[in-house]
Chains A and B, each alone.
Chain A
Amino acid sequence: MRAAAETGRTPPLEEAKIPWLRRNRPYLILLPAFLLTAGILYPFGVAIYYSLTNFSFKYEKHSFVGLENWVDMFSDPGFWHSLWVTAKYALLSTGVEMVIGVGVALLLNRESRLARSLRIVLIFPLMIAPVIATLIWQLMINSSVGVIGHALRGIGIVDFTWAADPDTALFTVVLIDAWVYTPFVILLTLAGLRSLPKAPFESARVDGGSAWFTFKNLILPMIMPFLLIALVFRLMVSLQEFSIIFALTSGGPGDTLMTLPLTAYTEGFTYKELGYALPHMLVLWLNVFFASRILIKYWSRAQERASGV
């Protein structure tokens, strides 16, 4: 301030008149939250370092090995398999949930007694931990106590083995994922549908537009921001889904369900090779990061378009 007075210039207002404590108030208020999480995120940086070492829980010492883990991983067919399984799982479960979720939401968006009461109870699965949901489904599909097993036997199917068969294992985990998370898509789509103005639809009806025409040209663009938010959240979370697969098959049968999180878990905690486990997760994290960036960009564009209509 004094320096400013000496040069005879009026100092920029906000920098000179406001005391330090006041000026940095937002940062100070944010500090506790930041300190609290910095302690957990510090390992995030450490992860990159350890991925360049041969660190193992089995030995005391570790040494710097450069890119060896990364090179090993990229030349390991198991890694490419994991990447493929992760993508398959995420795209399949997200796709199924989006389609069923939007469909059911459209059906629920009317004022019948059935729709009103279902709107309340259909969200229950979403509140249940995925690992618990897996147990609940075990009770359904188990060959000795499962009710579905009874029903299938009733119609003559006796050899449907769900998660134990490489051909149906993915179907089974996607089924459980869809059971838990479809209500999330339903909830967001319903919120979108409720935000729609009435007028355009009345004029569309007067003009004799078909239901499909109304949906495609009026409803869909307007609820797009809601659908994209649902898509972002579903995709990001299902890319890293661990507990459903872990509880159901631990990645098996064989390596059928070895997604990246399952592989990293096995390398890190079963084989105790932390240095080799970490690059798998760093690759996953990069994917999640960029996918979310792209989708969020789409989202803000869709939001502008929806409010522009």
Chain B
Amino acid sequence: MKRRMLKWIRNLALLAYAAFALFPLLWMLIISFKHDREMYHTIFLFSPTLENYRVLFEKGDYIGYFLNNLWVSAGAVILSIVVGVPAAYALARFKFRGRESIAFTFLSFRFAPEIMVILPLFLIYQRFGLYDTYLGIIWVYQLLTLPLIIWVLRGYFEEIPPEIEYAARLDGYSWFRVFLKTLVPLIKPGLVASALLSFIFAWNSFTFPLLLAGQNVVTTTVAALQYLSSDTVHYGQMAAAVTISILPEVLLALFIQKHLVRGLSFGAVKG
């Protein structure tokens, strides 16, 4: 009897948290299908419409913001992979002076206050014409994407026994070919997961594009804020815009679920 009661309380607590975590998302979905006419006097019962999505796509600028976000995030991740994978390998495989300090320097970028980086960078970007450019945003995003890729992949490289490498080298392959043909395939799951997670980090970035970009590189996070500051708030359109902007992330999250812990803790927890 007591046991059953306990189980009941446990499930109730769990459902209460689930409602807290998931209901706002459900409510956002509901509102995105609600016409402005019905916004203020209905709660759950209304005639659903795609009107909000139609307006959003017809105006067209939101698609532009979405694509902007896609380009800068993808660009940042690709750049981070190109320089980060070799760096992770070096930090995992070689013993050299200053190794841990260098590794921790990369990690500390994650904890560098964004506003502190932005204030002087704002000045420098304007002087060198990087302000409000794709390149400028992709560059500063390295602070978000590179530490993640380096630290997660370092763990994966450390798990590969060096003997595999030696064997391939003895077969006469060059170091670079060994790296590409034997090592990269072995770290592939980690590479895919950390690339996608760092994509999410970049996709979610708000402070950098808000302050280091203007009209040219408006991302969805920055654009979403405009819905609040405008005079007449179209809640339905706002909900539709938000729904579209979080859709890719939720799908990616499902895809990399197994690697999420390892990624989010920068490899500190092997999960």
Contact = CB atoms under 8 A, between A and B. Distances in A.
| Same complex origin of A and B | yes
Interface of A: 25-27, 29-30, 32-34, 36-37, 39-44, 46-47, 50, 100, 103-104, 107-108, 114-115, 118, 120-132, 135-140, 142, 144-145, 147, 150, 179, 182-184, 187-188, 190-192, 225-226, 229-230, 233, 236-237, 240, 242-243, 247, 261, 264-265, 268-269, 274, 277-278, 281-282, 284-285, 288-289, 292
Interface in B1-32: 10-11, 13-15, 17-18, 20-25, 27-28, 31
A292 to B, nearest CB: 6
A242 B264 CA distance: 20
26 contacts: A29-B86, A29-B89, A32-B87, A33-B87, A37-B143, A41-B117, A43-B123, A44-B116, A114-B11, A122-B17, A124-B253, A127-B246, A130-B204, A131-B225, A132-B242, A140-B23, A145-B40, A147-B27, A179-B21, A188-B269, A192-B269, A229-B269, A230-B265, A265-B115, A278-B119, A289-B108
B269 A44 contact: no
A229 B268 contact: yes
A104 B14 contact: yes
A289 B105 CA distance: 11
B106 interface: yes
A118 B15 CA distance: 9
A135 B139 contact: no
B193 interface: no
A274 B123 contact: yes
A269 B211 contact: yes
Contact of B22 (A47, A124, A289): A124
A43 B114 CA distance: 12
Given A33-B87, A131-B225, A47 B206 contact: no
Query: How many residues of B sit at the interface, in one of the four size bands?
Result: 35 or more
B158 to A, nearest CB: 14
The 10 A-B pairs at the shortest CB distance, nearest first, are namely A43-B120, A129-B204, A281-B116, A33-B87, A26-B94, A29-B90, A32-B83, A127-B249, A131-B206, A240-B113
Contacts, number: 246
Interface string B92-122: 0010100100100010111111111101111
A138 B31 CA distance: 12
B66 interface: no
B261 interface: yes
Contacts of B112: 41, 44, 285
Contact of A247 (B24, B228, B235, B254): B228
A140 B228 contact: no
A127 B116 contact: no
Nearest to B116: A281
B87 A242 contact: no
B207 to A, nearest CB: 5
A122 B18 contact: yes
Contacts of B90: 25-27, 29-30
B14 A115 contact: yes
Contacts of A182: 21
A229 B265 contact: yes
A111 to B, nearest CB: 13
B109 A37 contact: yes
Contact of B224 (A33, A131, A137, A190): A131
Which interface residue of B17, B139, B146 has the most chain A CB atoms within 10 A? B17
B24 A137 contact: yes
Given A26-B94, A36-B83, 7 more contacts: A34-B87, A40-B121, A44-B116, A128-B246, A136-B25, A229-B265, A247-B206
B264 to A, nearest CB: 6
A184 to B, nearest CB: 6
A139 B94 contact: no
Contacts of A120: 254, 257
A285 B116 contact: yes
Contact of B115 (A42, A183, A281): A281
Nearest to A106: B10
Nearest to B262: A191
B116 A284 contact: yes
Given A26-B96, A33-B106, A182-B21, A139 B146 contact: no
Contacts of A122: 17-18, 21-22
A187 B22 contact: no
A286 B23 CA distance: 38
A247 B96 contact: no
B67 interface: no
A183 B23 CA distance: 15
Contacts of B221: 129, 131-132, 243
Contacts of B246: 127-129, 132
B144 to A, nearest CB: 11
Contacts of A136: 24-25, 27-28, 242
B45 interface: no
A249 B239 CA distance: 19
Contacts of A278: 116, 119-120
